[in-house]
Amino acid sequence: MSNDRVVVVTGIGATTPVGGDAASSWSALLDGRSGVRALTEDWIDSVPVKFAGVAAVDPGDVLPRPEARRLDRAEQFALIAAREAWQDAGKPEVDPTRLGVAVGSGIGGITTILNAYDLFKEKGWNRLSPFTVPMLMPNGSAGWISIEIGARAGTHSPVSACATGAEGIAYGVQMIKDGRADVVVAGGTEAAIHPLNVASFAAMRAMSTRNDEPARASRPFDKGRDGFVLGEGAGIVVLESEEHARARGAKIYAVAAGAGYSSDAHHIAQPEPTGAGIQTAMRRALEAAGLTGADIVHVNAHATSTPAGDVVETIAIKDSVGTHPLVTSTKSMTGHLLGGAGGIESVFTILALNERVVPPTINVDDLDDGIEVDIVRAEPRKLPGGQIAAVNNSFGFGGHNVAVVFTSV
């Protein structure tokens, strides 16, 4: 990468199925606690999957009602996580024209769309909330965050299915490296636990149907895995040029050292079977960060617990980085947050570097064949001292591969 501006992480925020903020989510992961639970909604008999990673803290319990009613649930999560991250960063004073936002959602306000359509058919157009459009648009979260913090350098919303959150962070890093901004609030959000989503993913045969054991359903790398588990929430980070952060004496969690992208051009939903695209993204991320595979001590894997994806990713990790990093999939506890996944998993990767510990992948009773990387199972494992680096992988339907590299301070 030509630009030598260093980008650091100065704030983190998350609301997830295992905790209402970054700290409680992180401690749940270190304890190996699953956030996946049986659903009790009245529609549950109409779908074959009867559990999900529901947000540990309902956003309706956090936001004032007048605010909540004009936000889609995905926007609620995003705003809650962004406020936490912004507060955590010390609410930096920054020229508004040097402050940006890069936050997306894989699906957008789908619950708003579907509920609004029901209301429209039942009661007519003039009973729709005038906020229906800003609630359903996938860039709504980014827009609300920009208003909240007064960001005028540009507000962006990458949409790349389950790679969205990581792509948001990668985009934010690039905004700072390119000199367009000094501070960027970046990440991803999703709120898609609606019967139509569950039914549609089930129609792809992509979801686990382990209805008798919800907390054991998300089991990346395990031989018995049978699909992903839907989760919801948001993960947001505050990215800042190192110069700006140092000048104001900010606490620095990690360096956001670089990102790599590729696309499979193979199938609209299935992973490319050799993992070539994943390797390309990871190699490019290393190159962008000026690192080699030997520097990487930890990978927060995309691994969603689908039969097709997890092993291929481990092979790509082995081929592009090596077998030495401690690999984990926190989706074993949070479920898969789709567009929010890269957001929360970047937060977890940053915390792993910062606290030098990797949370376990739970439910790996029987490691699948062909996995040669070091999967952290059952108990957290310590990372070494000194200068260390880690990767967050995120891939999405459509063939998107994004790898983001963070390094210790």
Partner 1 sequence: MALTEQEILAGLGKIVNEITGIPASEVTPEKSFVDDLDIDSLSMVEIAVAAQDEFGVEIPDDQLKHLKTVKDVINFIQA
Q: How many residues bind partner 1 (CB under 8 A)?
A: 11
Looking at beta carbons only, is 114 or 133 nearer to partner 1? 133
CB of 97 to partner 1, least distance (A): 24
Minimum CB distance to partner 1 smaller for 133 or for 252 = 133
According to DSSP, residue 60 is labeled: G
Grouping H, G, I as helix, E, B as strand and the rest as coil, residue 241 is: strand
Site for partner 1 in 252-271 (CB under 8 A): none
Min separation Cβ 157 and partner 1, Å: 21
Contact 394, 162 (CB under 8 A): yes
Site for partner 1 in 108-137 (CB under 8 A): 126-127, 129-131
Distance CA 49, CA 196 (A): 12
Instruction: Enumerate residues 365-404 that contact partner 1 by CB under 8 A.
Output: none
Phi, psi of 322 (to 5 degrees): 130, 180
Query: Considering beta carbons, is residue 56 or 135 the nearer one to partner 1?
Result: 135
User: For 272, which DSSP code?
Assistant: P
User: What are the backbone dihedrals phi and psi of residue 101, each rounded to the nearest 5 degrees, phi first?
Assistant: -135, 135
Binding mask 156-195 for partner 1 (x = CB under 8 A): ----------------------------------------
Query: 65 or 121, CB closer to partner 1?
Result: 65
Chain center to CA of 73: 16
- Give 67's contacts (C-beta < 8 A, 6+ positions apart): none
What values do phi and psi take at 56, rounded to 5?
-65, -35
Which residue lies nearer to partner 1 by CB, 66 or 386? 66
Residue span 52-91 as binding mask against partner 1, x where in contact by CB under 8 A, dash where not = ------------xxxx-xx---------------------
- Work out how close the CB of 359 gets to partner 1 at its nearest, in angstroms, rounded to a whole number: 38
Minimum distance from CB of 13 to partner 1 (Å)? 23
The answer to whether residue 162 is catalytic is yes
Distance (Å, rounded) from C-alpha 290 to C-alpha 299? 17
Should residue 148 be labelled a site residue for partner 1 when binding is judged by CB under 8 A?
no
CB contact at 8 A, 190 and 105: yes
CA–CA gap between residue 329 and residue 332 (Å, rounded): 6
**Phi then psi dihedrals of residue 351, to 5 deg:** -65, -35
Beta strand 99-105 pairing with 154-156: parallel
Please state the closest distance from residue 133 (CB atom) to partner 1, in A: 10
Q: Which is nearer to partner 1, 132 or 332 (CB)?
A: 132
Which H helix or E strand runs over 118? helix 110-123
| Smallest distance, partner 1 to C-beta of residue 126, A | 6
For residue 343, give the nearest of 198, 174, 147, 185 by alpha carbon.
185
User: Which member of 52, 135, 153, 162 is catalytic?
Assistant: 162
Choice between 37 and 70, CB closer to partner 1: 70
Q: What are 242's two structure tokens?
A: 């190192």
Q: Provide the minimum distance between the beta carbon of 69 and partner 1 in the complex, in angstroms, as a whole number.
A: 7
Token pair in block for residue 307: 């039969």
Pairing of strands 389-396, 296-300: parallel
Interface residues with partner 1 (CB under 8 A)? 64-67, 69-70, 126-127, 129-131
Question: Which residues are known to be catalytic?
Answer: 162
